[in-house]
Amino acid sequence: MALYAYLEILLIPISVMFLYFLMIRTQKKSFAPTNWPVLGMLPGILHNANRIHEYATEILEESNGTFEFKGPWFCNMDMLLTSDPANIHHVFSKNFPNYPKGPEFRKIFEILGDGIFNADFELWEFHRKTTLSLMIQTKFYSFFERNTWEKIEGGLIPVLDGFLEKGVELDLQDVFQRFTFDNICKLVLGYDPESLSVDLPYIPCEKAFNGAVEALMHRHIVPEWIWKLQKWLQIGKEKTLMKAWKSFDEFIYPRVSINDGVDKEEDDFNMLKSFERKYEEIKNYTSRGDSREFLRDTSLNLMLAGRDTTSTCLAWLFWLLAANPSAEMKIRQEIEDELHEKEDKKWRNFSVDESKKLKYLHGALCESLRLFPPVALEHKAPIRPDILPTGNHIPENKMVVLCFYSMGRMEMIWGKDCLDFKPERWILERGGIKHEPSYKFPAFNAGPRTCLGKEMAFIQMKMVAATVIYHYNIEVVKGHKVSASDSVIIQMKHGLRVKLSKRNVC
């Protein structure tokens, strides 16, 4: 009898708790995750981890753009998610000094070392000043333009023609990733790995980026102790990240030596020599033991920026154009009207200055970046307590996650047609390009940390997109599923499988 009495007493609180959870579940109609005792909102996040960006968008749209996430009580995972432009402007510009990347960011992105993405304060100022001093040089853009067209003519077109002649489908996202990888390696390291060749060679470093960015997103979702345990055990996403780390090191370190050809004058404008010369100025602000480690970090950060962001935008552009053929026709007409002689309509390579004439193409690229910003999110943590424009109180070191992917899908920001692909929204009535503030359109970040390579990216994307659109018809393979990856870079989870046909052009 005593045993039965004990069981009855034990079952009372269990039954009450079960009924409480059941009531919450049956009454719950919102997208917001349930705040469970002990576990907080983590179960809801893990349940939607395979569609994390869409889920965050649903939550933020329902919450008027800002949401307080409660993590498990035993983890430091409480954070604020926001897609509100006023908050973005406050964090990235108005109160910029209070929101460095901070130790938590560096912990998650440790693979990037002391590169510009992780850097704060004096180290960041050094990176930005040095990079900017290089990019404003005439020689830089001359080399960039020549290198891009050489890769288009010697790599992109032969590869596309090869698939066309065989009549087989190809992964266009993979092609663009190879193109941008070769290009940025030549620019930064003075070395072309030729991953974009007709035989599509497997280069571990080039493929390592895809696994790395997925693993870095995983670190945002699970408690720190879990991913650190996985790292120690060398399992799961952390095993993938460690393999990527090794591939990066094996590719970069042999090419950052002084005697590796970086002193050549003509052949090669690469950025490392300037960073190497100025290493003495910054060595007291970096945790790296020698210049080779610092140059490795600098190279990897620039390679990540040059490969993934540009290739991601191009892949989504062609998927959007496949669904909007009238926009593609307008781009072709613009190319003929603005770049070619009216008498013969022959294709010719165009200059950096001439690329500015392609305004409708510029609008199409902006739409691709708005709907699928390459960098899905960024997080900050204030060094002093703060109050956001939305009224949210932010304690010291609390994580603020800025959801760029969600911003492009918010009716409150872009209107009722926010999900429509409309290049026209970027073109003024008098024909110029419409400027949107970076805190509304943060595809290239915002405030003092706005991407220095923004103009370079647009030029390169116009050169590639115009070439492909003018010479080929592209059809997405029937039945091919296209969806956004669950990573910090919004790639296509299953690539972009297409079939090509040649246009009848000169």
3-state helix, strand, coil split of the chain in percent (to 5) is 55, 10, 35
Least confident of 240-244, 292-296, 496-500: 292-296
So what's the pLDDT on residue 341? Answer: 55
pLDDT exceeds cutoff 60 at 221: yes
pLDDT tier at 80, thresholds 50, 70, 90 = very high
CB atoms within 10 A of CB 270: 23
Q: What secondary structure does DSSP assign to 154-209, as a single string? A: IIIHHHHHHHHHHT--EEHHHHHHHHHHHHHHHHHHS-----SSTT----HHHHHH
Say if residue 288 is exposed, middle or buried (CB neighbours under 10 Å; 0-12, 13-18, 19+).
Answer: middle
Query: What percent of the chain stands above pLDDT 90?
Result: 72
Q: What's the whole-number mean pLDDT along residues 114-136?
A: 90
Contact 92, 445 (CB under 8 A): yes
pLDDT tier at 20, thresholds 50, 70, 90 = very low
Q: Which CATH class is domain 30-502?
A: mainly alpha
Pairing of strands 79-82, 399-403: parallel
34 DSSP assignment: P
Least confident of 75-79, 143-147, 237-241, 418-422: 75-79
So what's the pLDDT on residue 447? Answer: 93
Contact 258, 268 (CB under 8 A): no
pLDDT exceeds cutoff 60 at 81: yes
pLDDT exceeds cutoff 80 at 343: no
Highest mean pLDDT among 73-82, 152-161, 255-264: 152-161
Q: What's the token pair of residue 132?
A: 């900017």
Q: How many CA within 13 A on the CB side of residue 506?
A: 11
Q: What's the whole-number mean pLDDT along residues 447-470?
A: 94
So what's the pLDDT on residue 345? Answer: 67
Q: What is the enclosing helix (H) or strand (E) of 67?
A: strand 66-69
Distance CA 374, CA 457 (A): 12
pLDDT exceeds cutoff 80 at 261: no
Q: What's the token pair of residue 63?
A: 């919450």
Contact 170, 497 (CB under 8 A): yes
Contacts of 306 (CB under 8 A, 6+ apart): 180, 181, 183, 184, 187, 188, 453
pLDDT exceeds cutoff 50 at 10: no
Q: What is the enclosing helix (H) or strand (E) of 473?
A: strand 472-476
pLDDT exceeds cutoff 60 at 502: yes
So what's the pLDDT on residue 506? Answer: 53
String of b and e for 49-63 (b: at least 16 CB within 10 Å)?
eeebbbbbbbbbbeb
So what's the pLDDT on residue 374? Answer: 94
Least confident of 52-61, 280-289, 296-305: 280-289
Q: What's the whole-number mean pLDDT along residues 195-221?
A: 94
Grouping H, G, I as helix, E, B as strand and the rest as coil, residue 433 is strand
So what's the pLDDT on residue 260? Answer: 47
Output the 3-class SS for 100-169: CCHHHHHHHCHHHCCCCCCCCHHHHHHHHHHHHHHHCCHHHHHHHHHHHHHHHHHHHHHHHHHHHHHCCC
Phi, psi of 386 (to 5 degrees): -145, 165
Q: What is the mean pLDDT of the chain?
A: 89
Nearest to 461 by CA among 369, 376, 371: 369
pLDDT exceeds cutoff 50 at 72: yes
The helix-helix angle for 359-371 and 454-471 (nearest 10°) equals: 110
So what's the pLDDT on residue 55? Answer: 95
pLDDT exceeds cutoff 60 at 6: no
Query: What percent of the chain stands above pLDDT 70?
Result: 91
pLDDT exceeds cutoff 50 at 8: no
pLDDT tens readout for residues 357-402: 999 999 999 999 999 999 999 999 999 999 999 999 999 999 999 9
Q: What secondary structure does DSSP assign to 314-360, as a single string? A: HHHHHHHHHH-HHHHHHHHHHHHHHHS-TTT-------HHHHTT-HH
pLDDT tens readout for residues 459-469: 999 999 999 99
Contact 310, 457 (CB under 8 A): yes
All structural domains of the chain with their residue ranges = 30-502
pLDDT tens readout for residues 302-333: 999 999 889 999 999 999 999 999 999 999 99
Q: What is the enclosing helix (H) or strand (E) of 393?
A: strand 393-394
Contacts of 506 (CB under 8 A, 6+ apart): 344, 345, 346, 347
Contacts of 144 (CB under 8 A, 6+ apart): 187, 269, 456, 459, 460
Q: What's the whole-number mean pLDDT along residues 235-244?
A: 96
